[in-house]
A and B are shown apart, each in its own frame.
Chain A
Amino acid sequence: MSTNERSIWEKIADQLRSKSLWMLHYCTGCGAIELPPSMTSRFDMERFGMGPMATPRQADILFITGYLSAKTLRRVIYTYEQMPEPKYVIGFGSCTLNGGIYYDSYATINRLDYYIPVDLYIAGCMPRPEALLEAFNELMRMIRKGEANGWKRYKENYEWYKQNQLRSLGEVFIHDEFHE
């Protein structure tokens, strides 16, 4: 079965999945400062059926808030691979899209979808909470239509993604004195 085809059960499941999304609360960059306003009373994203989740094992959405340094990217890849399927990735801010203002930095990556599959990008620096809510609604629509299948692409093109990760990071494993 190709990535875009779904069985009838999957179609029903996708309808249900889109109604209850748990977002992993991992602040990878400056975009994290717009998350509290969107989670709390002013913009209140819970009315759309989304909530923050503390652990990757129970989360559906990996939300990359802004630039990723190479050091964080290792942890993000770990986190992404820990998450159960189906899983969706949103890139928040221009720096995940094309490097943004850090296009020439020696420490940050330039495009996120080179390393992990991204379903949706929010462009801008810094995107407003409304844009975040809009993006979540768009993601829900995409899930219902079966368009958000980055996790399937990751499985299919695992070699390609791994190769890219190794090119930028040298090795994905974390080595420091604490891990040995």
Chain B
Amino acid sequence: MTNSMNNTIERLKSIIRNLKVEEIDEREVKIEIKPEMVLNALSLLKGSGYSHLSIITAVDWIEENKFELVYILFSWNDGGKFIVSTKIDRKKAKFVTVKHLWPIARYYERELHEFFGISFEGNDDMRPLFLENWDDLPPLRKDFDPMEYSKKKFPDREYHKDVIHEAKVIRGDLNG
């Protein structure tokens, strides 16, 4: 871990008790914190130079019945990466927005709402972004089966004939 990362972790420890720190490699640290402390930790990290928000994403831990929210912060000064992770309840998937810290968070949160069904308090713009007329579970949840959905909605080609719907096929690879 670099010096500035050590200092930042010390400062984090002073405001957050029982902070779980896991060192992934020299310039990458994962910290796990309780949901209510996330905003404090993120603003502290942003103030300490880790101001570039790489991505906000979520992991569906269906067996634990939790969603893990992951915020990845990066510092242009020393190249350190902080993976801030927190676990929220899967049934009542709700969290607070961070769009006042990073404007782009608004779209990441909108994406998470679309793909995981997590809603963010304070971020009202939750219209669908990538999908149109979606009518099933949020697709990135573990209990959603894309194969089944694809079979239901988009039928496969049936290969019982030699002819494929009268259309000709040209092979596009080298042996064509």
Instruction: Spell out A's residues near B (CB within 8 Å).
Output: 70-71, 74, 91-93, 97-99, 103-111, 113-114, 118-128, 131-132, 134-135, 138, 142, 150, 167-171, 174-177
Which residues of B (38-64) have their CB < 8 Å from a CB of A?
none
A45–B105 Cα distance when bound, in Å, is: 45
**Residues of B contacting A169 in the complex (Cβ-Cβ under 8 angstroms):** 133
Shortest C-beta distance, A112 to chain B (Å), equals 9
For the complex of A and B, the 7 pairs showing the least CB-CB separation, nearest first, are A127-B172, A124-B172, A131-B172, A106-B146, A104-B147, A121-B169, A110-B154
**Residues of A contacting B174 in the complex (Cβ-Cβ under 8 angstroms):** 128
Nearest-CB residue, chain A, relative to B158: A111
Nearest-CB residue, chain A, relative to B165: A113
Known: A104-B146, A121-B169, A142-B168. A71 touches B132 (CB 8 A): yes
Whether the Cβ atoms of A109 and B170 lie closer than 8 Å is no
Known: A74-B132, A97-B157. A103 touches B150 (CB 8 A): yes
**Please, could you name 20 A-B residue pairs with CB atoms under 8 Å apart, sorted by A?**
A93-B172, A98-B157, A99-B154, A104-B146, A105-B150, A108-B154, A110-B154, A111-B154, A111-B155, A113-B165, A113-B167, A120-B168, A121-B164, A122-B171, A124-B173, A125-B172, A127-B172, A127-B173, A132-B172, A142-B168
Shortest C-beta distance, A84 to chain B (Å), equals 21
Shortest C-beta distance, B132 to chain A (Å), equals 5
**Residues of A contacting B155 in the complex (Cβ-Cβ under 8 angstroms):** 110-111, 114
Whether the Cβ atoms of B156 and A111 lie closer than 8 Å is yes
How many contacting A-B pairs (Cβ < 8 A)? 107
Known: A110-B157, A119-B167. A124 touches B176 (CB 8 A): yes
A176–B150 Cα distance when bound, in Å, is: 24
Interface residues contributed by chain B, number (CB under 8 Å): 29
A142–B165 Cα distance when bound, in Å, is: 15
Produce 1/0 per residue, B98-139, CB < 8 A to A. Answer: 000000000000000000000000000001001111011001
B153 touches A (CB below 8 Å) = yes
A171–B135 Cα distance when bound, in Å, is: 12
Shortest C-beta distance, A138 to chain B (Å), equals 6
Most buried by A among B146, B167, B171: B167
Residue from the list B135, B164, B170 in contact with A135, Cβ < 8 A = B170
Known: A110-B156, A118-B167. 17 other contacts (CB 8 A): A70-B154, A93-B172, A104-B150, A105-B146, A105-B150, A106-B144, A106-B149, A107-B139, A111-B156, A113-B167, A121-B167, A123-B173, A125-B172, A128-B173, A131-B170, A131-B172, A171-B133
**Residues of A contacting B149 in the complex (Cβ-Cβ under 8 angstroms):** 106
A104–B145 Cα distance when bound, in Å, is: 9
**Residues of B contacting A132 in the complex (Cβ-Cβ under 8 angstroms):** 172
